[in-house]
Chain A
Amino acid sequence: AQSVTQPDARVTVSEGASLQLRCKYSYSGTPYLFWYVQYPRQGLQLLLKYYSGDPVVQGVNGFEAEFSKSNSSFHLRKASVHWSDSAVYFCALRTGGYKVVFGSGTRLLVSP
């Protein structure tokens, strides 16, 4: 069965530090992968997506993610976080058709 695992429920980093949020997926075919961000009391917003090609994809606000087929991973990175990046981040997988499977989310807290 298809699944997405975000092993870190909470991550705390200092402002200005680098960030990596981990995402592992389970799917035997070619995945379509997404990272979404959710700010308090709001819906999810797309950060970036990967369909094919260059395994490193750029997103909004300085975020990027790297796809690894061998590791079944799609980790999110940012070189220098800002306090406004505090939010919940979801990794998502589209396996075929219209269904999208979401991970359980990682809550990021950026400390001053």
Chain B
Amino acid sequence: DMKVTQMPRYLIKRMGENVLLECGQDMSHETMYWYRQDPGLGLQLIYISYDVDSNSEGDIPKGYRVSRKKREHFSLILDSAKTNQTSVYFCASSEGAGAEQFFGPGTRLTVL
């Protein structure tokens, strides 16, 4: 079953706390992505991972970092979260550069 999972689905944090968002996929896809989705803005790319320990900044990487130690797992870390990082975060994976992306269900993060 081709699936991308995200944990947790909902998260409330206080400003300054650290946040860990986790993503898994069971398709052995090399490429994985983290996006955030804000009303009226579509999806904005935070980071791309081409494979284990091979990550690249996207369009809005400031305030975020990522970790990929296993092909099937990709983490997004917010060190000292800010209120403007309140958003819905989506993880996606794809088989190759031109292939479709498979998306997880999203994590709704609120930073108070």
Spell out A's residues near B (CB within 8 Å).
4, 9, 32, 34, 36, 41-46, 49, 51, 90, 94, 97-100, 102-105
Contacts and interface: CB of A to CB of B under 8 A. Distances in A.
Given A94-B97, A98-B48, A103 B103 contact: no
B105 interface: yes
A4 B41 CA distance: 11
Given A32-B98, A98-B97, A43 B43 contact: no
Contact of B50 (A9, A43, A90, A98): A98
Most A CB within 10 A of own CB, among B50, B92, B98, B104: B98
Sort A-B residue pairs by CB-CB distance and give the 3 closest, nearest first: A43-B103, A102-B42, A104-B42
B58 interface: yes
Contacts of A98: 31, 48, 50, 94, 97
Given A43-B90, A43-B103, A45-B103, A102 B43 contact: yes
Give the dominant DSSP class at B's interface: strand
A15 B54 CA distance: 47
B41 A104 contact: yes
A18 B27 CA distance: 36
Contact-residue bracket for chain B? 20 to 34
11 contacts: A32-B98, A34-B100, A43-B92, A43-B106, A44-B90, A44-B103, A46-B100, A51-B98, A98-B31, A98-B94, A104-B42
Nearest to B98: A32
Contacts of A90: 42-43
A100 B102 CA distance: 13
Contact of B104 (A4, A43, A105): A43
B45 interface: yes
Nearest to A97: B97
